[in-house]
A and B are shown apart, each in its own frame.
Chain A
């Protein structure tokens, strides 16, 4: 299959997923309720595209940066920071409704700084240092999350659902504005992160060679880490920790589009969005609603196995 055809197929898939996402609800197939369409399904669709895309995009960047196929956007700890913020917001209660995502974003940012500070030794950051620091901080934070879950009087499944991924956010005008503001930040961060695709290609071969070729590896490492962490932190703040997308979709993108980050990163974005949208459509057809992470795994794993075995 020619590359152009692959891209076309991917865009068609995304359009199909978007159409289905707009038209399928608990009542079945319907496009005639304008209020539901504008207030619920459209924000839901955009959030799904953003979340799936961002997770896969930053997953690709991080796997490329760290040269590790098992890294996903959650490896570096920020997601645990965001989850901690969410749980604090839910356990302590936030009457204005706005503070839970804000707490989660704050949690992610603090975590980002902590991971970076721990990884930095004598002014330099190494790949191994970042991974180790991220994993350790992540463990510590998930310990805190579990502690809060146990100490709180909330039903546990509420928190579990919240953390395992949900695009069905109850929107009020304040929350909508917060979401739009975050969307603008995410868009900027995506473009900035994409500008590192060439440096990532060169660094993937050999870090020393990259230095001689004029790539500032320290700056690249720092910025890619900070940008993907920011992206993931914001995503988790709104949707919870949706698993699988950020780990496997980068591999899918590389299987289909080759190792060049200039192509795999946008391809991963589209693939991630498609996978998450389909998962979300299935999740919302079930009663009671399933957590997204369950469906992304069931949907993504067979597809990955198929591609892996046939190539």
Chain B
């Protein structure tokens, strides 16, 4: 039985300090201890992408990370991408394009594509498809998701829709 540790990291721009077991899954830490339920558990084994979060700007699977790994890191969850008042262009376009049906995959989709748009502001359709190839959606058939990401990329470049 391990001792608890005091873990300090940045979560959606705010410093966090929390006492936790070092082997706790990051997904559980976020959802159960910190109340951020955007990241979802689909498979728990890295195959569905529903639990994706940004760690130091890189999209990673929070079901395959342990709490101790977060020490000093900067974590952004889908909640941190934007707010209802000030949404991220991806969130605007997902809503506008009907890219959300049941919504379970949406947080992971927006996190994976936020990473894509940060590194590739002008992706083509194939690049978007590649970027979400680790995120399963069982409702939409992906077409509207890809449309939404391309529209968000356009908006972020300041171009007319």
A in complex with B: no
